[in-house]
Amino acid sequence: MSRPSAIMRNDVLLDIATFLSRRWSFNDRVTVTLVPDRQPVTKPDRSQIALPGLPYYVGTDFQKYRQWRVALWYESMRMKHSSKVLSNEHAFGFLLNTLETKRVEILGLRDWEGMEGELIFNEGISWISRQLLNTIYGRYKIAEAFSQYFLTGYIKGELFGGEQGKVQRATEFANEIIKEAIENGHGTEWVEQHIPKLVKILELDPLVSIPVLAPRTRMGASLSQTDLLKQIEKAVRTKKKEKDSEEKAKEIYEGSDVLHEFETLVKESKKTENKGYDSLENFGLSMPDRMDVDETKIYDLDLIQKVKAAFRDWKTGWIERHDETGEELDIETFSEALPKPFLTDMKLSIKTKVVLLLDHSSSIADVELEYKQATVALCEALAYLGVKFAVYAFSTENRQVKCWVVKPPNVKWSIASARRLAQIKAVGGTPLAEVYGLLQPALKSFRPDIFVTLTDGEPSDFDAVRTMVLSYRKTGVKMVAIGVGRHLNDAVEIGHNLKYLNYEKILAVSRLQDMPKKVIKLLRS
């Protein structure tokens, strides 16, 4: 599986990116993908954010993470406050995106004041990799000079002749536009209407090409931490107008507020490294590794909430009922009547370790979406209840059996797990015995108590399946099969066929939405 850097895995990076972007943008539908060596891109109409990996940035591993995190914040603010984002590769889009960067930054800091220090750090470190104006020629030089001066208040290098006047007039005009947009609640379309005048002030061709370079491409020499600290101090003086800018700059440079988050993610990456990801191929298992998959379509939030609600009383030990009549609880009287007025929330948990095996043969293709939505609801509920579980799926690819790892045993259920499930296609037959054989050595260390197989068809080899089921049972694993049918008669027929395969318990469902509850009730019993 590819890695964005030596210290952090793709799945760990995606988990934190998805969590932060949804929280920052107040949009639970946002999906984040990782695209190597490309500028961050936001598509507000699709609720999609594409980010480069950590190697795109410069500095230490921690500094790279901080730049990546700030980029995610900016794109999340675009997601919330912008209605469109144009390409940076031509002057018109470059200028609109530059103005929008300042507008969404001002609006974003109203909700997230704590990001101010990180934005100053990002300005300092990105300034070092900004292009020196003396080395740029042609019309692009004026566009870059405007971007620098408008966003920071200063430029890197020198301007000649009337260039300085153009940049200053354009900056004054752009600042007025942003001020009016914020005061009157205007959005991206209103700002866009004023870009032609900005282009005219700068005397640019709106279609002139703007080269897009990664920060590390511009560096040339290694990053000096002394220069970085000085640049952060300069940014502090410019933005915050503080007398003691040196002390504030040092505090921002150290980034202690983000350091704990970074260290936690690194530890999580190291933990997952030790939990068998890299040894999966040794067992003949495969890990779906595409990171550009939209997993939101298999998240049925209504179904997930219903499943969780059905077992909330069991998790907490309290039963909550909403009725029109009933007794009102007087807390003060109740507490005074007890010798020790304390309430203890007795958390209940399932100690059973579970393996889920999902049939992704071609026979489920017509109900694939609902099948995956029910599976995600089940996994969310198991994670909610604190159950230790692993999830695998099987299909056939190029006439070869593929056993896919959706969630390894000792890794938490997460967005990355759902993303793996979303990309598995329903194709091929039902070589169940062969899949059981592939999983047997991989599950020796996990030692599951219950092995649940979800299937909607007959296995390719009945005798071989019976033999494999018995071999699992001899090791103390309770083998359970759930037959998934399109309707009641179909479910009954599938359950009847499964009865002859030596499973200890057989369930049948005709409504996929019922599957999560049946599995959890099985564990409860």
**b/e 428-443 (16+ beta carbons within 10 angstroms → b):** bbbbbbbbbbbbeebb
pLDDT band at 218 (very low <50, low <70, confident <90, very high): low
What's the rounded mean pLDDT across residues 197-214? Answer: 86
- Which pLDDT score, from 0 to 100, does residue 243 have? 60
pLDDT band at 8 (very low <50, low <70, confident <90, very high): confident
Least-confidence region, from 206-215, 279-288, 467-476: 279-288
> pLDDT by residue (tens digit) across 128-171?
888 888 888 777 889 999 999 999 988 888 888 888 899 999 99
- Which pLDDT score, from 0 to 100, does residue 331 have? 55
> pLDDT by residue (tens digit) across 399-444?
788 899 999 888 888 888 888 899 898 888 888 889 999 898 888 8
- Which pLDDT score, from 0 to 100, does residue 525 have? 65
Residue 344 contacts by C-beta under 8 Å, 6 or more apart in sequence?
A: none
User: For residue 107, is pLDDT > 90?
Assistant: yes
What's the rounded mean pLDDT across residues 27-39? Answer: 86
User: For residue 349, is pLDDT > 70?
Assistant: no
Beta carbons within 10 angstroms of residue 412's beta carbon: 13
- Which pLDDT score, from 0 to 100, does residue 444 have? 85
Two tokens at 299? 């998240």
**């889009």: which residue's tokens?**
93
- Which pLDDT score, from 0 to 100, does residue 510 have? 80
> pLDDT by residue (tens digit) across 378-403?
899 888 888 899 999 998 877 788 89
User: For residue 216, is pLDDT > 80?
Assistant: no
Q: Reduced to 3 states, what is the DSSP secondary structure of residue 47?
A: coil
User: For residue 358, is pLDDT > 70?
Assistant: yes
- Which pLDDT score, from 0 to 100, does residue 192 have? 95
How far CA 36 is from CA of 2, 53, 56, 222, 305, in Å, comes to 11, 6, 7, 21, 35
CATH architecture of 296-308+348-524: 3-Layer(aba) Sandwich (3.40)
What's the rounded mean pLDDT across residues 287-301? Answer: 77
- Which pLDDT score, from 0 to 100, does residue 1 have? 35
> pLDDT by residue (tens digit) across 462-480?
889 899 999 999 999 999 9
- Which pLDDT score, from 0 to 100, does residue 51 have? 92
User: For residue 367, is pLDDT > 70?
Assistant: yes
Nearest to 9 by CA among 323, 216, 270, 294: 270
What's the rounded mean pLDDT across residues 46-72? Answer: 91
User: For residue 326, is pLDDT > 80?
Assistant: no
Residue 200 contacts by C-beta under 8 Å, 6 or more apart in sequence?
A: none
Q: In this prediction, what percent of the chain has a pLDDT beyond 90?
A: 33
Name the pTM for this structure: 0.67
pLDDT band at 3 (very low <50, low <70, confident <90, very high): very low
Q: Reduced to 3 states, what is the DSSP secondary structure of residue 120?
A: helix
Residue 198 contacts by C-beta under 8 Å, 6 or more apart in sequence?
A: 95, 99, 170, 173, 174, 177
| 472 dihedral zone (left: phi>0; alpha: psi -120 to 50; beta) | alpha
What residue ranges do the domains of the chain occupy?
Answer: 10-268, 296-308+348-524
Chain-wide mean pLDDT for the chain?
83
Determine what percent of the chain falls in helix, strand and coil, rounding each to the nearest 5.
Answer: 55, 10, 35
Beta carbons within 10 angstroms of residue 398's beta carbon: 6
What's the rounded mean pLDDT across residues 286-302? Answer: 78
Higher pLDDT residue, 56 or 331? Answer: 56
> pLDDT by residue (tens digit) across 454-463?
887 677 788 8
**């499930």: which residue's tokens?**
421
Beta carbons within 10 angstroms of residue 139's beta carbon: 16
Give the helix ranges, DSSP H, for 134-293. Answer: 140-152, 163-184, 188-192, 195-202, 215-219, 225-240, 245-254, 256-273
Higher pLDDT residue, 300 or 190? Answer: 190
Q: In this prediction, what percent of the chain has a pLDDT beyond 70?
A: 85
Least-confidence region, from 91-95, 185-189, 198-202, 317-321: 317-321
pLDDT band at 340 (very low <50, low <70, confident <90, very high): low
- Which pLDDT score, from 0 to 100, does residue 288 have? 80
Tell me the C-alpha distance between 338 and 105, whole Å: 55
Higher pLDDT residue, 99 or 273? Answer: 99
Least-confidence region, from 185-199, 214-228, 491-505: 214-228
- Which pLDDT score, from 0 to 100, does residue 335 have? 56
Two tokens at 249? 């700059």
